[in-house]
Structure 1
Amino acid sequence: MILYKIGKIISIGKQYIILESNFIGEVIYVPKPRDFIAEKVLKIFIYEYKYENHKTLYGFKTFKERILFEDLLTVPGIGPKTGIQILKERIKKIIGMLLKGDADGLAHLPGLGVKSAKQMIFELQDKYSKLISNEEKKKMKNESNLISVSEIIPTLKTLGFSKQQIKLAINKVKSKDNIELMIEDAIRVISNEKHKIIKA
């Protein structure tokens, strides 16, 4: 069993990276390709999925992500393609919703419906509840209430901000439990940047 690989990222696609390791280039599917940097040497945790005569590699920046991915595959109705989509969300938020039994919240994750979300809670809630300390549980449950920064992008587009301005804002704005406050923060960031340019 392959646990991890160390190599150089040769190319980055929409759903995968190409990693060169020991003079061999391999396609590795990852949750968030944009988190990786081309030409960088790194360690990536691997899950090797075998089906009939086919083998597909899935990669993760942290061992925790790999463990959660492997656990997701034990849930009826969740395969590797769905599992990798689910992990586009922050791992703490996913586990927080799992611990709270928040089927509606989980159902909003890519590839999941209400039925699969309930099945996920049924299969994994007890396991993660036993593995995680009470203090960590509290943190994760709070994390699950936070809104992803990406959710403010449509509003910023509607307000007429450019792609460059939106990218600047989402890189600086922190997740909160109130989307209106996040939008206000984003507008403030963009406005401050405009003032810097004018002064320059």
Structure 2
Amino acid sequence: MYATIQGFVTWIEPSYIVLENQGIGYLILTPNPYSFSLNSESKVFIHHYVKEDINALYGFQSLEAKKMFIKLINVSGIGPKSALSILANDRLDELVRAIEMADINYLKRFPGIGPKSAQQIILDLQGKIQLSPTENHPKLIDVEEALVALGYKKTEIKKTIATLDGNLTIEDMIKEALKKMTRSHE
């Protein structure tokens, strides 16, 4: 079983990269191959997928993306191809927001995801995603710290932060989070 592979990206194609380590080139399917730089050293978080006629390495630039991929492929009706498609076309925080808000129309915009698959994703994953809020928005660290200082639980904070608009100022994000958390306690 592989967790990570570190090496040099020697080849980039539309659906995969080749990462060379110790003279071995690993073909790694990835959601955004062109986000890697050719001939540069990279650490890739790996999921080794083995099923009937498939034996493949799937790679991600963050541990959070790898965890989301694993959660998605464990949803009934979602395979690795659909999971990669979802991750290639979206930011993790937006995907989590859509799942937590049960936004079926948002999920249906991904190739291969119809209404039934979107409902199944929501049913299986809603409330179960432990995504670091700072994965795509480092300024959310300040928001999280402020809410912890006010006495809110980290699990509640993470769930609320996942629904916030990352384009707001830190102050506005804190206000919005407080409104949402106050409503949930009523």
Q: TM-score, normalised by structure 2?
A: 0.72
Confirm whether residue 28 of structure 1 aligns to residue 28 of structure 2. Answer: yes
CA gap 1:77/1:143 in 2 versus in 1, 3 angstroms:
farther
Flag the structure with larger Rg.
1
Residue 13 of structure 1 is matched in structure 2 by 13
Confirm whether residue 107 of structure 1 aligns to residue 129 of structure 2. Answer: no
Secondary structure of 2:17's match?
strand
TM alignment of 1:35-74, pairs within 5 A: 35-52=35-52, 54-74=54-74
CA gap 1:75/1:20 in 2 versus in 1, 3 angstroms:
same
Which amino acid in structure 1 is aligned with residue 48 of structure 2?
Answer: E
Q: Hey, which bits of structure 1, 4+ residues long, moved more than 6 A?
A: 129-132
From 161, 164, 177, the counterpart of 1:139: 161
Secondary structure of 1:133's match?
helix
Residue 170 of structure 1 is matched in structure 2 by none
Residue 65 (structure 1) shift: 0.6
CA gap 1:53/1:129 in 2 versus in 1, 3 angstroms:
closer
Which blocks of at least 5 consecutive residues in structure 2 are unaligned?
133-153, 168-186
Residue 171 of structure 1 is matched in structure 2 by none
- CA displacement 1:120-150 (0-9 Å, x = unmatched): 0101113227997333323321349x8xxxx
Q: Is the contact made by 2:64 and 2:131 (CA closer than 8 Å) also made in structure 1?
A: no
Deviates more, 1:130-139 or 1:23-32: 130-139
Secondary structure of 1:141's match?
coil
CA gap 1:129/1:102 in 2 versus in 1, 3 angstroms:
farther
Supply the RMSD in Å over aligned alpha carbons.
Answer: 2.1
Cα distance in 1, alignment partners of residues 118 and 69 from structure 2: 15
Which blocks of at least 5 consecutive residues in structure 1 are unaligned?
147-200
How many residues end up aligned between the 2 structures?
Answer: 145
Cα distance in 2, alignment partners of residues 129 and 5 from structure 1: 24
Residue 122 of structure 1 is matched in structure 2 by 123
Residue 83 of structure 1 is matched in structure 2 by 83
Residue 97 of structure 2 is matched in structure 1 by 96
- CA displacement 1:39-94 (0-9 Å, x = unmatched): 01111000111122541110000001101100111111100011111101101111
| Higher helix fraction (1 or 2) | 1
CA gap 1:14/1:105 in 2 versus in 1, 3 angstroms:
same
